[in-house]
Chains A and B, each alone.
Chain A
Amino acid sequence: MKHWKTTALAVGLATVVGGHAVAADLVRVASSQRGFWDQTLIQFGDDAGIFDKHDIDLEILWTDGGADAQQSVISGSMDVAVGTGALGVISAWAKGAPIDVIGASMTGSSDLFWYVKADSDIKSIADAAGRTVSFSRPGSSTNLIAAKLVAAADVDAELVPTGGPAATMTQVMSDQIDVGWSAVPIGLDREASGDIRIIASGNDAPGVAEQSVRYHVVNRNFLEQNPDVIKRFLAAYQETLDWAYDSDEALQMWADMNDLTMEEAKSARDRGYPREALQPFPIKGTDQNVQEAVENDRLDEPLTEEQVSEFLSTAEEVRGSSSE
């Protein structure tokens, strides 16, 4: 009860004193996989006051996966989605949905890895014939990369959606799934203790290292009505990125969130999320993404060159006017 009153008082004071915040613009952001470094940066930046500095008031919605985040932006419930799967974005954009890409969220797939139980006879994806290989949800970047890994190994494995990394870990350890997926840092402790063996990394899939697999998208109407707000949002995001790699504060927040020591957090971040991979620009591998969208029935036919440059044009425009 005491806590309740203190909280209420603090909130009241903050609202009164935070005159600065009164002038801020509201941006509703959808993200997913709370706890992942790249997906949670906006929260770290918000907690550190970086978005406030740019007069942005963030409202963050944590969804179950990229597709939900994307749908909420398309329908206008949310203004921006961070880290939503590239194929889904291309497919929706091609169908005329009112969303536009404003930057890359993740290029390459250094954060993802696939593993097996330590006592499994599977040594690499090539050994997974007739076995189950997991990904998170249909249409996600894990879906795409798992498919590419399997195709590259030319093996007849069964791709199965297993949800988030924690749920996947349970299923692997309970022998329900043969090859599980995870993202740094989840599972690294088990690797260290010898419970699991990592058999593939996201970047093992051919071409992925130079491919932007997740995008930041904005609702087109919101952008048209608030171009300045989006520019400030991107500037704040870039500042958050720089801050997160230049100092240890974000690292500490991330370590606390995931129950890691600072050393573990640092090594996990450097291993899984190299600074260059998270830069919003340049947006890479769009042609590859388009091709995969066609192969995976997300697009009926490839986009023309004109369409591709139109697809990327919004990001160019916004960036051009916000570059520091």
Chain B
Amino acid sequence: MKAFVEHRWGPAFAGLLLVVALGGCLQLAVGGGLISPFVIPLPSDVLAEVPSLFTEEGLAHLFALTFGITLLATLLSTVIGVPVGLFLFRQRDFGQAYENWLGAIFSAPVILLYPLFLVVMGRGLHTIVVMSVFVGVTPIILSTYRGFLSVPPVYVRVARSFNMSSHDTFWKVLLPAALPSIFTGIRLALIYAMINAVAIEFLVSIGGLGFLVGDLYDRYNIPGMYAAVGFVIIASMIFFSGLEWLEKWLDPQ
């Protein structure tokens, strides 16, 4: 038993078994009439819907759409956020003036503003991207600013003692030192952009995965809806494991 626990994959495998066992119990509970199938459908029905999600609902396309929106929003957030963060670092008074505000915006429920965005920008994918940029740009600005702030001043002094140009000082000393922090910010931006995108897709009935869940619910295809929710979870898992792997690859320590 101990060997099983100690083994790298042991507990994970057991976890998978647990999920399968849970599915089995549900199958019995629903099939036996303990739970109404209109609230929780038979797991077998849910699994049966999966192929049609691909063939009839275009799941792959919707996946790509949500991912695309998220990546685009994060890219825009980075392009806007890093220079702004750098500016805050260079002009320290601005940095001090805005740091707390940015923190407050980051923790504020920006997504609740979606009716506002809808009304001003219309009901389209561009609105989702803009909202996601809104949500994603703050962590990037903050982490860029703080990243540069935390570079030990001795690095800059050493560079200066070697008579490095300020251009080189920035690109060869400052930026590499701040990069880990910037990446943390980009990762946060990705996470929040995705959560935001899926949520708005669901609430407004446009776009990719979030739209699919809402649409299946509206069309009263409950097994399909549960399957779609499962796919959103899978998408989230793939997304974030991918991020972890990418970060390890970029920064091996």
Contact = CB atoms under 8 A, between A and B. Distances in A.
Contacts of A139: 218-219
B124 A74 contact: no
27 contacts: A65-B218, A67-B217, A67-B219, A67-B220, A75-B36, A75-B38, A88-B218, A88-B220, A91-B219, A91-B220, A92-B220, A97-B38, A137-B205, A138-B205, A138-B218, A139-B219, A161-B123, A161-B206, A163-B123, A167-B118, A167-B119, A167-B123, A171-B123, A174-B122, A177-B122, A297-B56, A297-B219
Contacts of A302: none
A71 interface: yes
B77 to A, nearest CB: 25
A95 B38 CA distance: 10
A162 B219 contact: no
B65 to A, nearest CB: 16
Contacts of B124: 176
Interface string A152-176: 0000000011110001001100101
Contact of A176 (B123, B206, B219): B123
A98 interface: yes
Nearest to B119: A170
A34 interface: no
B99 to A, nearest CB: 36
A284 interface: no
A175 to B, nearest CB: 9
Interface residues of B, number: 16
B215 interface: yes
B115 to A, nearest CB: 9
B219 A298 contact: yes
Contacts of B1: none
- Give 8 nearest A-B pairs by CB, closest first: A176-B122, A67-B218, A92-B220, A139-B218, A138-B218, A161-B205, A91-B220, A74-B38
Interface residues of A, number: 27
A137 B123 contact: no
A70 interface: yes
A162 B123 contact: yes
Interface in B118-137: 118-119, 122-124
A170 B119 CA distance: 7
Interface string A81-125: 000000010011001011000000000000000000000000000
Contacts of B215: 138
B219 A138 contact: yes
**Of A70, A161, A297, which is in contact with the most chain B CB atoms at under 10 Å from its CB?**
A161
Nearest to B205: A161
A75 B40 CA distance: 10
Interface string B211-253: 0000101111000000000000000000000000000000000
Interface in B49-76: 56
Contacts of B3: none
Contacts of A160: 123
Contact of A70 (B36, B205, B206, B220): B220
B39 interface: yes
Contacts of B118: 167
Given A137-B205, A167-B123, 15 more contacts: A67-B220, A71-B217, A74-B220, A75-B38, A88-B219, A91-B219, A91-B220, A92-B220, A95-B220, A137-B218, A138-B218, A160-B123, A170-B119, A297-B56, A298-B219
